[in-house]
């Protein structure tokens, strides 16, 4: 029987963001905004997680969770053979406050789980359990988008 696995990214205690949460700040799962973050994730991890079959959705979660990734794997090691991951979903928390760099970074983090990466115990890393700072590639993409 395949194992159902979960990865999550929580909030850091001193994190600040500038955008307000709400429908206007919540891009649709099939939007160009989400697609850009997925492209950054593919480039960062060097793979297309779950063979490209990843569902992104919004659903309320615990207040301290930005997002949650879930997948099934035939492996007993949840991160051991990511090429066999199936039923891959990233659920973003609409109660969390996102600006572009944070949304992008959170998605890249969750794609990391789907690509076989567990949490990093070192604070401040992309795969740390808590979000503390945006990924440089996400900040650069924001600058490119603003210049366009």
Instruction: Please state, rounded to an integer, the average pLDDT across all residues of the chain.
Output: 85
Which of 9 and 1 is assigned the larger pLDDT? Answer: 9
CB neighbours of 38 closer than 8 A, spacing ≥ 6?
A: 54, 56, 107, 111
pLDDT in tens, 53-82: 999 999 999 999 999 999 999 888 888 889
Fold of 3-10+24-147: Collagenase (Catalytic Domain) (3.40.390)
Structure tokens at 133: 């700072």
Instruction: Name the band, by pLDDT with cuts 50, 70 and 90, for residue 4.
Output: low
Q: Whole-prediction pTM value?
A: 0.84
* Contact assessment for residue 38 and residue 49, using Cβ atoms and an 8 Å cutoff: no
- pLDDT at position 147 is 66
Q: Which residue has the higher pLDDT, 15 or 27?
A: 27
Q: Which residue is listed with tokens 């500038």?
A: 18
The domains of the chain are located at 3-10+24-147
CA distance 28 to 45: 23
pLDDT exceeds cutoff 70 at 134:
yes
Judge contact between 98 and 24, C-beta under 8 A: no
Q: Distance (Å, rounded) from C-alpha 54 to C-alpha 35?
A: 11
């Amino acid at each position: 029987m395949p194992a159902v696995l979960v990865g999550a990214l929580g909030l850091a205690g001193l994190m600040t963001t500038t955008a307000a949460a709400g429908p206007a700040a919540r891009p649709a799962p099939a939007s160009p905004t989400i697609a850009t973050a997925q492209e950054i994730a593919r480039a960062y991890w060097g793979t297309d997680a779950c063979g490209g079959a990843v569902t992104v959705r919004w659903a309320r979660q615990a207040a301290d969770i930005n997002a949650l990734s879930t997948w099934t794997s035939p492996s007993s090691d949840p991160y051991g053979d990511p090429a066999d991951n199936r039923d891959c979903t990233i659920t973003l928390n609409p109660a969390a406050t996102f600006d572009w760099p944070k949304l992008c970074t959170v998605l890249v983090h969750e794609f990391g789980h789907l690509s076989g990466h567990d949490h990093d115990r070192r604070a401040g890393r992309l795969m740390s359990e808590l979000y503390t700072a945006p990924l440089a590639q996400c900040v650069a993409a924001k600058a490119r988008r603003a210049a366009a």
